[in-house]
Amino acid sequence: MLRAGKTKFHIDLRRYLREDGVDDRLTHLICEIAEASKYIVNSIRTGDLGVAGTSNLYGEEQLALDVLADRILRKRLAKSGVVSNVASEETRDVIAVSPHCAGNFSVAFDPLDGSSLVDVNLAVGTIVSVFPGSDLLQPGHRQVAAL
């Protein structure tokens, strides 16, 4: 018997990536980012739309949702076990997560692009770039995933 909202053709993200031959560590990372996005969506629905009183690396005033989304994504990436370094639009520095682990990934992201549009119900999203190893300063053609 099929569950509500599911069809016999339904396939989940993890299964799709595995069947497409994506590396297990990269599959794990992409699924961690997808899980983090669920928490970010929930924070948008229930969160504070006010100003955080801080600014991002571009000098733009941060909203409380920007700070919360950044914290959610960084925490999930740090606990993934496959990320060496992260860089966020919301922070000035590259943050070393597990820099000495060989074969990991480095991730650059904007945790909540368009956050100032949340209160008028326009499109927002999370932008992610994944690179192999611990160096974020690589040419774009070395990127292994973009979300």
Domain spans in the chain, listed from the N-terminal domain onward? 13-146
The pTM of this model reads 0.78
Give the residue-averaged pLDDT of 128-143. 92
Give the residue-averaged pLDDT of 93-115. 79
Lowest mean pLDDT: which of 80-84, 88-92, 133-137?
88-92
Give the residue-averaged pLDDT of 110-123. 65
**What's the rounded Cα separation, in Å, for the pair 75 and 102?**
20
Q: Could you tell me which residues are beta bridge partners of residue 82?
A: none
CATH class (in words) of the domain with range 13-146? alpha beta
What pLDDT does 60 receive? Answer: 66
Helix axes 24-46, 64-79, angle to 10 degrees: 150
